[in-house]
Chain A
Amino acid sequence: KAGVTQTPRYLIKTRGQQVTLSCSPISGHRSVSWYQQTPGQGLQFLFEYFSETQRNKGNFPGRFSGRQFSNSRSEMNVSTLELGDSALYLCASSSALDSYEQYFGPGTRLTVT
C-alpha cells in the first residue's frame, strides 16, 4: 500500500506571496491532518479534515486554510506569506476506524525569503 505523499517536497517563496501544498493520503483513509514543524515550536496542529469537512482547527491565523476533496486528497493554502511561515509542513492520514494511528508523509519544506 502506498504511503502518504506530499507535493512539492521543497518550495521557495517570497514574502507576500501565497502557496498551495498538496497531500494524498493512504488509499482508503478519509482523515487528513496538517502540522507545522519548526525548530523553535516543534509540531503544531493546523487542522483536520474528514470526508471533505474540517473537523478540527489549531490556533493559526486565517491566512492558513485548507480543503479536502471527494477522493480524500487535501490541500492547504497559506496567503500573504511571512518569514515566520518557513517550516516543514507535514500531512498525516488515518482511517475512520483506527483514527488514533496517524501515518505521516515526508513533508514539504517551505522557505520564505
Chain B
Amino acid sequence: GNSVTQMEGPVTLSEEAFLTINCTYTATGYPSLFWYVQYPGEGLQLLLKATKADDKGSNKGFEATYRKETTSFHLEKGSVQVSDSAVYFCALIAPRDTGNQFYFGTGTSLTVIP
C-alpha cells in the first residue's frame, strides 16, 4: 500500500538555525512527492514538489530531493525565520486510472523563536 511517515514534532528552533524534517514513503509504482505547509488558521499550501527520482523541489529557501533508493523526501532549509513557524506535511500521490489520491503524513509542527 501507500503511506508517508514523517518525523514527529513539535520542533523548536532558534532563528537562523538549520532545519531538517524527515519524510519516508512506501508506494506502489512511481509516486510524485510533495511538501505542504499549513499556517495557523489557514488551509494547506503547496510548498514544493518532485515528480521523479533525483528531482529537487525548492521554494522560499526550502529544498527536498526525491531519493528513490532510500524512499525519502526530507525537507531542509539553511536558515529558518520566525515566519516559517507552521505545520509541515509530506505527501505523495499515486496516480491511478480511476483518479488521483493523496496520502499525507501526520504533520510536523515547527516553531521558530527569535
* A interface residues with partner B (beta carbon < 8 Å): 4, 31, 33, 35, 41-45, 48, 50, 55-56, 58, 90, 92, 99-107
Contacts and interface: CB of A to CB of B under 8 A. Distances in A.
A56 B43 contact: no
A42 B45 contact: no
Contacts of A48: 99-101
Contacts, number: 57
B100 A100 contact: yes
Contacts of A33: 102
Given A50-B99, A56-B98, 16 more contacts: A33-B102, A35-B104, A43-B104, A43-B107, A44-B104, A45-B103, A48-B99, A55-B98, A56-B96, A58-B101, A99-B100, A100-B93, A100-B100, A105-B43, A106-B41, A106-B43
Contacts of A92: 44
Nearest to A42: B106
25 contacts: A35-B102, A35-B104, A42-B104, A42-B105, A43-B89, A43-B91, A43-B107, A44-B104, A45-B101, A48-B101, A50-B99, A55-B98, A56-B96, A56-B98, A56-B99, A56-B100, A92-B44, A99-B100, A100-B32, A100-B51, A100-B100, A101-B49, A104-B45, A105-B43, A106-B43
Contact of B49 (A42, A99, A100): A100
Contacts of A107: 43
A99 B95 CA distance: 10
Contacts of A43: 44, 89, 91, 102, 104, 107
For chain A, what secondary structure do more than half of its interface residues adopt (helix, strand, loop), or is it mixed? Answer: strand
Bin the interface of chain B by size: 20 to 34
A104 B37 CA distance: 11
> Taking each of B42, B49, B89, B101, which has the highest tally of chain A beta carbons within 10 Å of its own beta carbon?
B101
